Chain A
Amino acid sequence: GAGVSQSPRYKVAKRGQDVALRCDPISGHVSLFWYQQALGQGPEFLTYFQNEAQLDKSGLPSDRFFAERPEGSVSTLKIQRTQQEDSAVYLCASSRSGGANIQYFGAGTRLSVL
């Protein structure tokens, strides 16, 4: 596709429910990133993939958060046993190669945990 695609755009979950957020990066982009954006804040780094390898997961807030990119293309961010503090916009970005490069963002998934 032309840009980074994320689905669903909006997700409402009951506390304790598991959720899965999908990201389809720009075709051919090697690097993929997940960010979390709380209300009134800038995006915060969660995790980084280069192809299928997860090279950095230092930003994941807890072990309830898990990300994968098994074939080096589509990625899924999974949150288990959601809590209210997980409510945020989850942004996916991709870039052509590794290192310091321009990252292209999707529109995000807005997660609301009730």
Chain B
Amino acid sequence: DQQVKQNSPSLSVQEGRISILNCDYTNSMFDYFLWYKKYPAEGPTFLISISSIKDKNEDGRFTVFLNKSAKHLSLHIVPSQPGDSAVYFCAASASGGSNYKLTFGKGTLLTVNP
């Protein structure tokens, strides 16, 4: 069973507009969440993270929102740029002895059109 779900395989937006990527999780033990960006033929690159004690974390154009009651997080990119076109992975780790282990979603392909 998938504990981290990214239900949109792809998303297309216009340059300058907002991109919103969504992620749902089922494991209530997850308490640390990360977003990674991946270009073709490269490894995932860390983008932004959030701990469960917060509901928002912002870094430049990127903001992650966490709704614990809904077990939902989202990544907002404003304004979107063509260079943001990549696959975005949501990942989570659980509290406890295995907190080093990341569980990933399947990813969402974002295309930003000029």
Contact = CB atoms under 8 A, between A and B. Distances in A.
Nearest to A91: B43
Interface residues of A, number: 27
Contacts of B91: 42
B61 interface: no
A56 B101 contact: yes
> Which range contains the number of B residues in contact with the other chain?
20 to 34
Interface stretch (A13-21, A61-69, A97-105): A97-105
Interface stretch (B67-75, B78-86, B103-111): B103-111
A43 B34 CA distance: 13
Contacts of B42: 107
B100 A4 contact: no
A26 to B, nearest CB: 12
A99 B101 contact: no
Interface in B19-50: 31-32, 34, 36, 41-46, 49
A1 interface: no
A99 B98 CA distance: 8
A92 B9 CA distance: 24
Nearest to A6: B43
Contacts of B44: 43, 91, 105
Contacts of B34: 102
Interface string A33-53: 101000011111100100000
Interface in A83-114: 91, 93, 95, 98-108
Given A91-B43, A102-B49, A108-B43, A42 B100 contact: no
Given A4-B43, A105-B43, A31 B106 contact: no
A108 B46 CA distance: 15
B62 to A, nearest CB: 14
Given A42-B4, A42-B89, A48-B100, 6 more contacts: A42-B91, A98-B100, A100-B31, A100-B32, A103-B46, A107-B41
